A and B are shown apart, each in its own frame.
Chain A
Amino acid sequence: MTTTTPHEPPGESALALPAELLVRMHENMVRARCLEERLIRMNKQGDGYFWIGGPGEEAFNTALGLLVHKGQGPAYDYLHLHYRSSATLLAMGADPVDSLRQMKNTASDPYSGGRNFCNHYSVRKWNVVPVSSPIEVQFSMAPGTAIANKRAGGRGITIVQGGDAGTAEGDFASCLIWVSRPGNELPCLMIVTNNQGGISTPASEQHGEKHIADRGKAFGMRTAVIDGNDVETAYRALEKAMDYVRTERKPMLLEVAVSRLYGHSSASGANLITEEADCITLLEKKLEERKILPRAAMDELRARTTQELLEASKRVREEPQPDGSTLYDHVFSDRDLVHDAASRGNGAS
């Protein structure tokens, strides 16, 4: 079992990522942060009814999006994400403007056609299964896609992610049981992003377990607890965890300490919390110290991205809303299963 304690200082030499990758990750993290800040603004200005998202999780979630084997069908990774995963989607190549569309519930919202809250993605061509609001249900579904991954025989795995508070739900226990059945272990990477609380309730008042990851040990699962605010720790730990699950075809439980920089959602005000560690600030310090990027360039990136998203949000505001006559569309699917089966496994699209 690999267990490291949170905030353990990384051995620089072993963990250091190439400068090029750090720049790429930084850019994605900034884009994700600017997107979330734009979504918050839109909500506060009345251009969207509700905000929930992932500012504070960009380091880990960016690493996840970059390391995913992206494609359609069981030869590729399945992603059971939640509503704090915007940085993962952007790192996979999603257009941030589509997130603005979902916030504004336009007909052009590709994730739900104006039916769901922001950050509730669905991208079939990348195996991103629909994100839904009920906490932790994705952990009950993950064994199903993991069975398909195992059956496909390649290196595709199932990745399921949720928060710390949600692990109190029975679905988390379901997942532990179902992915570790003796002789039927599944290639499933269970990720708990631990921001130390539910909406307003501190985890310390509700959870007696020292580490959530320890629950995996009872099932003989490999576990790790890592600092998700450090991009290099996050990337390396995730790379290692994914490699284990891909190669061994066995489950692993990874607990990741992250921040929640704007609270739970718009329901709790969505105001910046300055006491928590900011993964972008931490990365920018490194980039400056290592002389990879000058301060001015990073500030310029942030300002430019903010401006681009502001302009995009103005355009999105003019896009049509779904027509009431489309209400019943897609209640039932008419997808041709036979044809679909024949075309399955064609790979990434």
Chain B
Amino acid sequence: MTITEVSVSLTINGRAVSVPQGTSLLAACESIGIETPTLCWAENLTPVNVCRVCVVEVEGSRALVPSCARAAEENMVVHTESPRVRHSRKMVLEFLGSSTDLSQASDLAVWMRHYQADPNRYGQTDVPAERIVEEPKVQDDLYVRDYDKCVLCYKCVEACGDDAQHTYAIAVSGRGFNSRISTEFDTVLPDSACVYCGNCIGVCPTGAIQFKTEFDMRAVGDWRPESQDVTTTVCSFCGVGCNLELHTQDNKIVKVTSPADHSVTHGHLCIKGRFGWQYVQPPTVSPRD
């Protein structure tokens, strides 16, 4: 049996495109240089298509379709710049900006300007626009969850569950605007199923989950991404060979990531690779305190 790659031909913004069967519309757009905003999509996670910021218009389809999850089909006619698409993308960004703290979601700020989103046009003094208001959950020395930055993209839930860690320590709870990412009965992390792999941090697009180091440095105004270096190395703890990216500021490790396209990790690490750098630079406070 021979496997031949079947390709499909479609039209995007009037341009003919040919892509392998099964390619998402998002990837098809990318193949001809069309940039698309994404939030809940990541190359190392199953698309959940909930944020709707990547929607495109497909002729013949009544509603807009999420480009991240919809596969390209033969003879599809796709528009990414139509008034309906621009409107929906702008509104999604406004909705998120009006209800959550996007101050650490730098990618979104670019798209907000692009679509001229104005999150401040909601609410009045008599009826203010409701926002997500949550105190940061600081429950250990490894990472912090600050859910008023959470846009409910489901990435952390996927990374904790079926897509990477299979730990299932967190899930979406509640309903509607009251939905939150939570452990059972909001139990503190050290008492939950969490194994501190930190894969939730790795996928969070808005800083709602971040390293305690970053959180503390931001609190004192010392977080300076522009003066940080990233050094790629291989984790020394076991023989699997995970790539680590050590983010250093003033010659100190401040956080650790792994490339999403790395064949071994797909961006995911374990507690040792993610947090175990103390032997390089002992912490001033022991995590056991």
Does chain A bind chain B? no
